[in-house]
Amino acid sequence: MTTNNKKPPAPQQRFSPCRNLFFSLGTAALLTAMFTDSLAVLGRHLGIPLLGSIEIVQGAIVVMACSAMVLTTAEQNHAHIKILTERVSSQQSDWLQRLAAVISAVFCLAIVVGSIWVSVDTWSEHERSEILHLSYRWLRALAVLAASIMLVFFLLQAFGESQQDEP
């Protein structure tokens, strides 16, 4: 019996500068949320509440979510079901994956356009959180930036090189 000692090829990191930036942002936001929430819980037990901790955690969650979505899109790690693509030819599978990327790009475009529309309408209203008065406009701008980056990655997936492995 022979065994195959070949290791699977390492995934390509085509977007490593982007990956490092968004991984660091997401990590910092996660640590901020954890630290803030831990301090808030400890403060409640000691009778010293940390006012506004929920607002800080909510802002950190926006940063984490944006980072995670961009990273997942850049590395093509979105959840997908291969029940159809495993049963068709390689060419048809590539076409279906490109179609999915186009549909995802259209969805991201709708998110970007809608978010810009809301941002423009509310930019001068100075929306702020209730306790710490944190401005929401920068979180919206981050969400628009993340959706725009995802849009570009989906377009690259749709119209770039073939997504099938060469034999």
Q: Which of 103, 101, 115 is nearest to 146 (CA)?
A: 115
Pairwise CA distance, residues 100 & 116, whole Å: 24
Q: What secondary structure does DSSP assign to 7-76, as a single string?
A: PPPPPP-TTHHHHHHHHHHHHHHHHHHHHHHHHHHHHHHHT---TTHHHHHHHHHHHHHHHHHHHHHHTT
pLDDT digit string, tens, across residues 82-135: 787 788 888 988 898 899 999 999 999 999 999 999 999 988 888 888 899 888
Q: Which of 121, 111, 122 is nearest to 144 (CA)?
A: 111
Pairwise CA distance, residues 59 & 147, whole Å: 17
**DSSP conformation class of 123:** G
Q: Say what the pLDDT of residue 5 is.
A: 52
- Fill in the amino acid letter for 65: A
- The answer to whether 44 touches 89, Cβ cutoff 8 Å, is no
Pairwise CA distance, residues 100 & 158, whole Å: 8
- Fill in the amino acid letter for 91: Q
Q: Say what the pLDDT of residue 82 is.
A: 77
Question: Residue 9 — very low, low, confident or very high, per pLDDT cuts 50/70/90?
Answer: very low
Whose tokens are 């030819």? That residue is: 89
The residue that leads in pLDDT, 163 or 106, is 106
- Fill in the amino acid letter for 87: R
pTM confidence score: 0.80
Mapped onto helix, strand or coil, the DSSP state of residue 135 is: strand
- The answer to whether 108 touches 147, Cβ cutoff 8 Å, is yes
